[in-house]
């Protein structure tokens, strides 16, 4: 059985807790940019934490925060592209539906003309 679990996304307050836990910092010059990005981008707290975790002994707060910013920007770009693709698909679906409806109406009108039936503007037979 496949279950979908709805989880919240990481916002700035949660990010600050993660930064304090993983990097032992309470503020940084990059916080303004990070605040903007986490508010604009849907990323789970686990993904944020993964980017904040130092990967080696040489990784300091600057490196980890830059890695997070890059990841947030990539995620934001992916979401933008996905939204564009979805919009394009919807427009194509709508165009196909409109074309199909027009074809059906044309076919119905043609059949009506061939059968000699005449319709008023409101669609009733005369």
Tell whether 18 is covered by a domain: yes
Beta carbons within 10 angstroms of residue 72's beta carbon: 24
pLDDT confidence band for 4 (50 / 70 / 90): low
Count of domains for the chain: 1
Tell whether 7 is covered by a domain: no
pLDDT confidence band for 108 (50 / 70 / 90): confident
Quick: pLDDT tens for 38-88. 999 999 999 999 999 999 989 999 999 999 999 999 999 999 999 999 999
Tell whether 126 is covered by a domain: no
For 22, the token pair is 């993983």
List the domain range (segments joined by +) for residue 54.
12-84
Tell whether 70 is covered by a domain: yes
Tell whether 5 is covered by a domain: no
Q: Are 22 and 49 contacting, i.e. CB atoms less than 8 angstroms apart?
A: yes
pLDDT score for 2: 67
pLDDT score for 25: 96
Tell whether 125 is covered by a domain: no
Tell whether 121 is covered by a domain: no
Phi, psi angle pair for 30, to nearest 5°: -85, -5
């Amino acid at each position: 059985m496949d279950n979908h679990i709805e989880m919240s996304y990481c916002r700035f307050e949660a990010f600050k807790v993660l930064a304090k836990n993983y990097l032992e910092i309470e503020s940084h010059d990059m916080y303004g940019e990070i605040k903007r990005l986490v508010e604009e981008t849907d990323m789970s707290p686990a993904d944020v934490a993964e980017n904040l975790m130092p990967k080696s002994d040489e990784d300091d707060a600057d490196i980890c925060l830059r890695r997070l910013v890059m990841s947030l920007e990539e995620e934001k770009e992916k979401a933008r592209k996905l939204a564009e693709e979805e919009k394009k698909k919807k427009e194509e679906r709508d165009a196909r539906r409109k074309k199909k409806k027009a074809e059906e109406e044309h076919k119905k009108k043609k059949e009506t003309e061939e059968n000699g039936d005449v319709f008023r503007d409101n669609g009733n037979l005369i």
